[in-house]
């Protein structure tokens, strides 16, 4: 855990926290190593936990439901990145599938442990809450772009009237 | 002046009762001191789709409409309505929290409106460095954003089935 403590303290998101706050976080984190090809979570399913990537590479792939291949995208998550934020929001499907490219080690934080942090180390919990809010806003921006792209591709066909009814016009 | 401020606090408590209650009088006062009351005539564009956003707004009175699309030459008639905005709503929070700082829709007043305006830098100062206020604001914003994302997923799913 000492190495992970050093690792966490080196991340910009956690560098301002005290020894006691980092220890409280460490008590709630679960370090896991996953074999290549392991799927940590799937698109449209609830993410099981938030993950801090300690080592290795994960592939995050999103498949658009409405824009075909044009709306698909893939990116990689590397050491130091935080993924799976939506695990901390109840009843919220994941926008992407996360797969270990090689062997990966992550520190996971469950929804229950996140809530416990509000009592044990409120500042750290607020940091995760801020990360969740910014990630939700980012996903909404992406979702709006996707809907706009779909809308543009439909104009000026008859589908527009359907879209207008659907979106409340 | 003090009477005006008391009236504003009372109005905020009426339009945003949960946030006001959770903040408490002292934190609410500090938050409102960073806000400016703005009055907007009917037909005023508060945000333009894909244009820069510098402030967040909390609607106290009146109605607004959110639209996307429309050509620059004929924006109003060709635009698609995506939301009706009522008192108690936040505006601009997606642009600010995402860091994108660009509006994802055009927001226009349907009636005369009154809103509280807070500059994005003041908002970020509260959110990043003031735990008492941050916890309350972020808690509510996470709920609002999560609900919007669920609704957006539902729209996407309906579109997929329609296609």
Q: Cβ contact (<8 Å) for B98 and A159?
A: no
Task: Give this complex's ipTM.
Answer: 0.85
Q: Mean pLDDT lowest for which of A109-113, B19-23, B46-50, B77-81?
A: B77-81
Residues 6+ apart with CB under 8 A from B39: B112, B113, B114
In terms of Cβ atoms closer than 10 Å to its own Cβ (0-12, 13-18, 19+), residue B33 is: exposed
The span from the CA of B12 to the CA of B85, in Å, is 17
Q: Which of B125, B131, B132, B145 to mutate to test the interface with A (most CBs of A within 10 A)?
A: B145
The first and second tokens of residue B85, run together, are 């905005």
Tell me the whole-structure pTM to 2 decimals. Answer: 0.86
Of residues B69 and A126, more confidently modeled: A126
In tens, the pLDDT along A4-21 reads 999 999 999 999 999 999
Q: Is B82 on the interface with A (CB under 8 A)?
A: yes
Among A154-163, B97-106, B136-145, the range scoring the smallest mean pLDDT is A154-163
Residues 6 or more apart in contact with residue B100 via CB below 8 angstroms: A137, A138, A141, B94
From the list B98, B99, B146, the residue facing A89 with the nearest CB is B146
User: Are β-strands A104-109 and B106-109 bridged in parallel, bridged antiparallel, or unpaired?
Assistant: unpaired
CA B64 to CA B38: how far, in whole Å?
A: 14
Q: How far is residue B56's CA from residue A73's CA, in Å, rounded to a whole number? A: 30
**B15 closest CA partner among B84, B61, B66:** B61
* B28, B9 contact by CB (below 8 A): yes
Beta carbons of B149 and A122 less than 8 Å apart: no
Question: Could you tell me the pLDDT band of residue A168, with boundaries at 50, 70 and 90?
Answer: very low
pLDDT, one tens digit per residue, over A101-156 is 999 999 999 999 999 999 999 999 999 999 999 999 999 888 878 877 777 777 65
> Does residue B71 surpass a pLDDT of 60?
no
Instruction: State the pLDDT confidence band at A32, using cuts at 50, 70 and 90.
Output: very high
Question: Across the interface, do A65 and B156 touch by the CB < 8 Å criterion?
Answer: yes
Contacts 24+ apart (CB under 8 A), B29-36: B30/B130, B30/B133, B31/B126, B31/B133, B32/B5, B32/B8, B32/B116, B34/B118, B34/B119, B34/B122, B34/B123, B34/B126, B35/B116, B35/B117, B35/B118, B36/B116, B36/B117, B36/B118
């Amino acid at each position: 855990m000492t190495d992970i403590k050093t690792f966490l303290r080196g991340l910009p998101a956690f560098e301002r926290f005290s020894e006691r706050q980092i220890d409280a976080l460490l008590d709630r984190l679960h370090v896991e190593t996953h074999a290549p090809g392991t799927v940590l979570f799937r698109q449209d399913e609830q993410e099981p936990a938030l993950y801090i990537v300690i080592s290795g590479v994960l592939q995050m792939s999103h498949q658009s439901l409405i824009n075909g291949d044009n709306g698909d995208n893939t990116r990689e998550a590397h050491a130091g990145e935080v993924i799976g934020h939506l695990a901390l929001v109840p009843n919220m499907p994941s926008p992407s599938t996360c797969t270990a490219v090689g062997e990966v080690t992550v520190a996971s934080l469950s929804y229950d442990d996140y809530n416990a942090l509000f009592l044990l180390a409120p500042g750290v919990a607020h940091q995760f809450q801020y990360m969740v809010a910014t990630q939700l806003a980012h996903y909404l921006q992406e979702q709006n772009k996707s809907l706009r792209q779909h809308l543009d591709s439909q104009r000026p066909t008859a589908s527009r009237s359907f879209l207008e009814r659907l979106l409340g016009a | 002046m003090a009477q005006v401020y008391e009236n504003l606090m009372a109005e905020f408590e009426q339009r945003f009762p949960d946030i006001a209650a959770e903040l408490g009088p002292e934190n609410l006062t500090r938050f409102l001191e960073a806000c400016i009351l703005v009055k907007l005539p009917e037909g005023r564009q508060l945000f333009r789709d894909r244009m820069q956003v510098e402030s967040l707004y909390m609607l106290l009175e009146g109605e607004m409409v959110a639209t996307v699309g429309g050509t620059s030459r004929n924006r109003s008639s060709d635009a698609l309505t995506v939301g009706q905005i009522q008192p108690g709503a936040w505006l601009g929070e997606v642009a600010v929290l995402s860091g994108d700082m660009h509006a994802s829709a055009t927001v226009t007043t349907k009636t005369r409106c009154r809103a509280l305006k807070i500059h994005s830098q003041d908002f970020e100062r509260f959110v990043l460095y003031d735990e008492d206020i941050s916890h309350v604001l972020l808690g509510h914003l996470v709920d609002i954003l999560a609900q919007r994302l669920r609704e957006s997923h539902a729209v996407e799913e309906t579109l997929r089935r329609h296609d």
